[in-house]
Amino acid sequence: MTISVAKTAEHGFGAERGQSPKWNMALAGLTAEQRHLIRSRMRTVALEPRSILFRQGEPSDTLVVLEQGRVRLLQTHENGEEFTFGVFVGGTILGLAALVLDRPRVLTGEAIDAVVVSLMTRQDFWDCTRVVPGFLENITKLLALLSVESIERSGPLVLDDAWVRLGSILTSLARAESGGADSRLVIDGLTQEDLAKMAGVSRSWVGTALAEFERLALISKRRGKIAIEDQARLAHFISARRNGASHSQGCL
């Protein structure tokens, strides 16, 4: 696994407190001592923004638990075109299926922000499944859930138009603004090129679409951030487009 611009971080970040419940599920029902044993087999690393956690085609020899920050998973086609599979937050387990199957990685993992990850080798992973009762059962359930979620996530996106894809992406990436006086949700740390790759469109199209969203008072742009001004209206916009309703406010 390739980790660039990395330094060892102090333990204690704890993906158990992350935004995604996946790592919690892997540890569900285990005692404090069992959790400590699993944690003792992991090393924690801090990565700078845009660092590569692992590359498509590399051996899947390490389990990655995202503790803090956001990671983009992407796939590069033979013609060089990139497709973003998704953006994942703290508490997410990366590379679990490939690790279990001992197959090369099918995706590349790129840090969006400064991130903290915990790493476990394949050998340590299998050792933990043998010596920690319940851990293997949790992993089996988690793999089944990840399979179902992948189908649920990818199915609608195939049928959605670009406006729905972009609106859904903005909604999924939005987080409460740190230190903000109001409760607005914001998206930061991503360029229009990043959003274009996620939506499967051109950068110029994203620029036009964001301008239209702003004209409709669905979002506002400032200081490298995109703020969702009205969550309910944006959700209605997405629903109307998805259901094939014509948008009467001039949307392209």
Question: Higher pLDDT residue, 134 or 83?
Answer: 134
- Indicate if the pLDDT at residue 210 is higher than 60: yes
Could you tell me the CA-to-CA distances from 105 to 58, 78, 93, 99, 122 in Å, in that order?
6, 15, 14, 8, 13
Strand locations in the chain, DSSP E?
6-8, 43-47, 52-54, 62-68, 71-76, 82-88, 93-94, 108-111, 115-121, 175-176, 185-188, 219-222, 225-228
User: In terms of C-beta density within 10 A (0-12 exposed, 13-18 middle, 19 or more buried), how is residue 112 classed?
Assistant: buried
Q: Are 94 and 71 in contact (CB under 8 A)?
A: yes
DSSP single-letter state for residue 27: T
Task: State the pLDDT at residue 5.
Answer: 35
Q: What is the pLDDT of residue 181?
A: 56
pTM: 0.73
pLDDT digits (tens, 9 = 90+) for 103-139: 999 999 999 889 999 999 999 999 999 999 999 999 9
Q: Which domains does the chain have, with CATH numbers?
A: 6-158 (2.60.120.10), 160-242 (1.10.10.10)
Predicted pLDDT at 14? 39
Lowest mean pLDDT among 49-63, 177-191, 211-225: 177-191
* pLDDT reading at 183 higher than 50: yes
Mean pLDDT over the full length of the chain: 83
- pLDDT in the model for residue 39: 96
Tell me, what's the pLDDT at 244? 75
Report whether 128 contacts 38 (CB < 8 A).
yes
* 231 in Cβ contact with 175 (< 8 Å): no
Q: How confident is the model at residue 2 (pLDDT cuts 50, 70, 90)?
A: very low
Cβ 63 vs Cβ 96: under 8 Å? yes
Residue indicated by tokens 């949307």: 251
Top-confidence residue, 142 or 81: 142
Residue reference for tokens 């400590």: 36
**Residue corresponding to tokens 């301008």:** 211
How long is the chain?
252
**What average pLDDT does range 50-79 have in this prediction?**
92
Strand duo 71-76 + 108-111: pairing: antiparallel
